[in-house]
Every structure is written in C-alpha cells, then in structure tokens.
Amino acid sequence: MNIQQLKYFIEIANTRNLSAAARNLFVTQPTLSLALKKMEGDLRTTLFTHTDKPFQLTKTGLYLYEHGQTLVTDFDQLIADIHLMDDESSHSKKKIKLGITTLFSMQFMKEISLFLSSHPHIDLIIKQDGSPYLQQMLMDDEIDIGLISFPNLYPDKISIEALETSTRGYHVYVVMPDDNPLAQKSVLTFKDLKGQRFSSLTTNFMLGRLLLDRSSNFGFEPNIVLHNDDLQVLLHSLRKNDSICILPIEYQEVGKSDGLSWIPLKDKYDYFPIGIALKRDAHITNDIKDFIEIIKDN
C-alpha cells in the first residue's frame, strides 16, 4: 500500500460512493476499483462491507480510516514544508550583478567558475555588453561590479582598478579576408583603412567608438556596412561583405577565423588595459571582495 492508495481509500470512505470518489479524485472508476482491490489484497483484509448500504467500513477499515487520515495530513504537510524550505533557500541566495564583455567572460571563465563553486550561496547574474555601456549600467546601479576596459568615462562616479595579472588588457588588430590587399602588410594605421568597407561593433564597445573617433581624426568617415555586437557574427560577415573589422587579437584564440588575416593596428589607442570597476559610493560586501581576489589571481 502506498500513500496514493491510502488517499483513494479515504475518499471512498468519505463519499461512500465509488463514482463520486473517482470524480473528486480525477481518476476513472475502474482505476479506483482496482486500487481498492489491490489495497485489500496487500493488507489481506476487507475494508468495506456491502450488506445494508454500500461501502460501510469494516473494523479494520475503520482503524485504517482513522489513522490513515493522520498519515495523509502529515505527509502532505511534509511535502509542503519541503517546498517551502526550497523556496526560502532560493530566495535567500545573495545576488551579485556582474557586468563583463564577451571576450573577458571567456578569458576569466575559470575564475568565475571557481567563485561560483566556492560561493554556493551567491546567485551571480551576468550582463554581457561593451565597456561604455557597462560603465553606464554601473552608474545607474544596474550592476554591482564590472570587469571592463579603460578608459574610465565617468571618473567622478566610478573607479576602475587596473588588473596586474596574466590578463591585463587587449591589443587592437584589423581583421580582413586573406585576399584583401591590406592582408599583405605587416602593420596598419588608420590612414591605411580609408576607403575600406567596415563591419563594426556598435558604440556600446570601446572599439566601436575608436573606429568613429580615429577615422574622423584622419579625415574620413568609415563606410560601415554592418553593425553588430557579436564578435563571431562580425568575423563571419567579413568575406560575405568584403569588409574589414577592428577587434582584439585575443579573440583569435576562441573565434573561428579561417581565411582571415589579423594585422596589428599601430595607433596611440592600439591597446586597452582592463580592470575591475566599482561605483565610488557603493557598499562592497565580503562576497564581492572574494570575487575580486579570485579575479586578481588570474
């Protein structure tokens, strides 16, 4: 006998009617009848008599009914308590909202995984976007901490501590199909890029802003044929659109770039250091401090 069969039995005893009990339990009458027969077989006793009125409890049936109700009530309460504990446990998890770029999330995946495994009480909510956008989110309290690149666009509102680890920043390269004439050069400047078609990050990213600002400084407006913030989409578009793109060389290790050449860009902004960004008036919890220490161990 199991708890479900016991519930069936109690409902039959309450209604004294097999069809009414089946209707209340949302099962078919044959299902209920078979369950009752199985119970009586397992217990080796009869639970109801049908001498005068149907479904009159026998002595053993009455005993099972009186004690069974307590068992069912306790069982249902046990399940409810377990669900409540589970809900409270998930609701009691502390949240840390992390802003990070796609490249950095790949570079620091090991450290992020280590933090999550060592801090099971933390729900790490990750927002991936470009550094300029993430700096704005940090100012607006939409994230608690950022792993982003310089420059600091809001020095009065946020601080960025440069990382002195194995991953300190990224170097800017120009990516293009192998058959682009620029692919034969060993180094490029913005002056060399005039007249090219560009697939570009948006201004949510430092490199999207770099393309617009430095092209203007060199006296031309870039011909941007595609804006997209997915690095792999940009790489895929280069041959299709006969375009070039400005990207971190560090992404080459994880991105699929067959048939593409990566040429270093020589410019005063050809390297972007990265750091840990916090709002200046923010309360830094011990968990956030732990996260920062793990990142610094990179």
pTM equals 0.64
Query: Based on the domain organization, do 44 and 17 belong to the same domain?
Result: yes
Q: What is the per-residue pLDDT for 20?
A: 86
pLDDT value of residue 187 = 97
Q: Are residues 160 and 287 in the same domain?
A: yes
Choose the final residue of a domain: 32, 56, 90: 90
- Tell me how many degrees the CA angle 287-288-290 measures, rounded to the nearest 5: 65
> Could you tell me if 162 and 174 lie in one domain?
no
- At residue 75, the pLDDT reads 79
Domain boundary among 71, 90, 109: 90
Token digits of residue 58: 């026998």
Alpha-carbon 213 to chain mean position: 34
Say if residues 58 and 67 touch (Cβ distance below 8 Å): no
Q: Which amino acid is at 76?
A: D
Q: Which range of residues forms the domain containing residue 142?
A: 94-167+273-296
Q: What is the CATH number of the domain that holds 26?
A: 1.10.10.10
Q: Are residues 39 and 67 in the same domain?
A: yes
In sequence order, which residues have a C-beta less than 8 Å from that of residue 52 and are 6 or more positions away? Answer: none
Query: Does residue 65 sit in the same domain as residue 84?
Result: yes
Q: How do residues 77-88 score in pLDDT, each as one tens digit?
A: 877 777 666 655
Q: How many domains does the chain have?
A: 3
pLDDT in tens, 90-106: 556 789 999 998 888 88
Same domain, 174 and 256: yes
The separation between the first and the last C-alpha atoms of the chain, rounded to the nearest angstrom, is: 58
Q: Are residues 99 and 138 in the same domain?
A: yes
What confidence tens digit (pLDDT) does each residue in 104-143 have? 888 888 899 999 999 988 999 999 899 999 999 999 999 9
**What average pLDDT does the segment 221-246 reach?**
92
Going by the DSSP 8-state scheme, the letter that residue 167 receives in this structure is -
117 and 32 fall within a common domain: no
Question: Does one domain contain both 223 and 250?
Answer: yes
Same domain membership, residue 187 and residue 229: yes
Q: Do 188 and 249 belong to one domain?
A: yes
Selection from 256, 249, 198, 208 nearest residue 232 by Cα: 256
> Within this chain, do residues 28 and 66 fall inside the same structural domain, yes or no?
yes
Residue 251 has pLDDT above 80, yes or no: yes
User: Amino acid identity of 170?
Assistant: Y
CATH number for the domain including 211? Answer: 3.40.190.10
Task: Dihedral sign for Cα 194, 196, 201, 207, please.
Answer: negative
pLDDT, mean over the chain: 89
pLDDT at 182: 96
Of the candidates 232, 230, 220, 231, the one whose C-alpha atom is nearest the C-alpha of residue 196 is 220
Query: Domain end: 90, 117, 134, which one?
Result: 90
Residue 38 has pLDDT above 90, yes or no: no
Q: Are 287 and 209 in contact (CB under 8 A)?
A: no
The C-alpha atoms of residue 234 and residue 171 are separated, in whole angstroms, by: 17
Mapped onto helix, strand or coil, the DSSP state of residue 155 is coil
Q: What is the mean pLDDT of residues 208-231?
A: 94
* pLDDT for 211: 96
**How many whole angstroms separate alpha carbon 99 and alpha carbon 157?**
16
Residue 106 CB partners (closer than 8 Å, separation 6+):
254
